[in-house]
Amino acid sequence: MTDRLVDSFGRVHNYVRISVTDLCNLGCQYCRPGSALSCKVKSELLSFDQLTAVVEALAHMGVTKVRLTGGEPLLRPRLESLIGRLSGIKGISRIGLTTNGMLLGPRASLLRQAGLTDVNISIDSLVPERYAGITGGGDFNRVIKSIESSCKAGFDKVKLNVVLMHGVNDDEIEAFLKLTINYPLFIRFIEYMPIGDRIQAWRSEYMPAESILARCEEKGWQIEPVGNTGQLIDSLHGENDISGPARYYRIAGAAGEFGLISPVSRHFCESCNRLRITANGCVKPCLYWNEEWDLKPYIDDEEKLRHVFLQSLAGKPLRHEMTIAKEETSSKPHTLRQMSQIGG
């Protein structure tokens, strides 16, 4: 292995998130409100050959996990083919997909056969009408069928992502938690992040993920942490290639677990192990900052490609400043891209 992906603060990077398209068939209010199916950079998307070359270079530098995002990644034609190619790269042990679930159901088994190991499905409400409102027209029943199909397909993990929004879906927290009591599901509550042009909405709808624990206490539910509490710190030294930002808990006697992802109230920057590739082929070392480096001119030269990755890590900040955004005193401008272009 050459040129390990280590930034100036000693953080080892072994995980890449790739936005394969900024196209989406929904218009979620926290991501791309009113812009379902729009695509500004379609002609600039990296080809499967280019994406494979990027991941091969990253694998040579120690990356072991890839997650395909969007937009809606299943709108990218022949995605199974790309997954098959990526799963054949030496060193890549996990390939995940983050999806809204609209197109997943009929393809779940094929994706698993191609080499997909994990799937995260976004579902921000259990009320069909509210779900349609949050997503700009999403079909709740299709998402439920996709969850069922994914469980049957045999993925290593099926996780459900819920973006917490005060005054929008916070009255459903108990209903989501009850799902983990009755079913072997992993439900992750994610704090609303001030990304793109949604700052004003974020200020009114943000709520800390820790409030989930308070709800459990109100219900009299006993909860206990699940898993290795040192997992994130291990990733700092490159010892854990499947670490993530969620802190998991289990309600006593529950079949499943719930996780809290707190990028704003309790950031996990000290253990960040990920790079992001945007829909138009730029590497973005930090989700929140504008800085990014164009990969396209260097894809045919792995040595130059590795240099760009190292250059991007040299400029990666110690931490984001999402917690400062409310006072508008950040030392750098926050990202102007929509979440669908970055890939989350």
Residue 274 annotated as binding site? yes
Residue 216 annotated as binding site? no
| 7: in domain | no
| 4: in domain | no
The CATH number covering residue 29 comes to 3.20.20.70
Cα distance between residue 274 and residue 27, in whole Å = 26
Residue 276 annotated as binding site? yes
Residue 151 annotated as binding site? no
| 2: in domain | no
| 1: in domain | no
Mean pLDDT over 211-224 rounds to 96
Residue 112 annotated as binding site? no
| 266: in domain | yes
pLDDT at 138: 97
What is the tally of structural domains in the chain? 1
Instruction: Name 158's Cβ contacts closer than 8 Å, sequence gap at least 6.
Output: 118, 119, 121, 147, 150, 151, 185, 186
pLDDT at 38: 57
pTM over 0.75: yes
Residue 94 annotated as binding site? no
Residue 30 annotated as binding site? yes
Cα distance between residue 52 and residue 83, in whole Å = 9
The CA-based angle 227-117-153, given to 5 degrees, is 105
Residue 159 annotated as binding site? yes
| 110: in domain | yes
Cα distance between residue 301 and residue 175, in whole Å = 51
Domain hosting 294: range is 15-342
For the cut 70, the answer to whether the pLDDT of residue 239 exceeds it is no
pLDDT in tens, 174-186: 999 999 999 999 9
Residue 39 annotated as binding site? no
| 262: in domain | yes
pLDDT in tens, 281-325: 999 999 888 899 999 999 999 999 999 999 999 989 887 666 545
Residue 193 annotated as binding site? yes
| 9: in domain | no
Residue 286 annotated as binding site? yes
At 232, the pLDDT band (50, 70, 90 cuts) reads very low
CB 255, CB 181: distance < 8 Å = yes
Three-state helix/strand/coil letters over the chain: CCCCCECCCCCECCEEEEECCCCCCCCCCCCCCCCCCCCCCHHHCCCHHHHHHHHHHHHHCCCCEEEEECCCHHHCCCHHHHHHHHHCCCCCCEEEEEECCCCCHHHHHHHHHHCCCEEEEECCCCCHHHHHHHHCCCCHHHHHHHHHHHHHHCCCEEEEEEEECCCCCHHHHHHHHHHHHHCCCEEEEEECCCCCCCHHHHHHHCCCCCHHHHHHHHHCCCEEECCCCCHHHHHHCCCCCCCCCCEEEEECCCCCEEEEECCCCCCCHHHCCEEEECCCCEEECCCCECCCEECHHHCCCHHHHHHHHHHHHHCCCCCCCHHHHHHCCCCCCECCCCHHHHCC
Residue 306 annotated as binding site? no
At 98, the pLDDT band (50, 70, 90 cuts) reads very high
Q: Is the dihedral of CA 106, 109, 112, 118 positive or negative?
A: positive
Residue 275 annotated as binding site? yes
Mean pLDDT over 319-341 rounds to 54
Cα distance between residue 341 and residue 39, in whole Å = 9
At 154, the pLDDT band (50, 70, 90 cuts) reads very high
Cα distance between residue 147 and residue 136, in whole Å = 20
Cα distance between residue 155 and residue 289, in whole Å = 33
pLDDT at 238: 39
Query: Token digits for 262?
Result: 């707190």
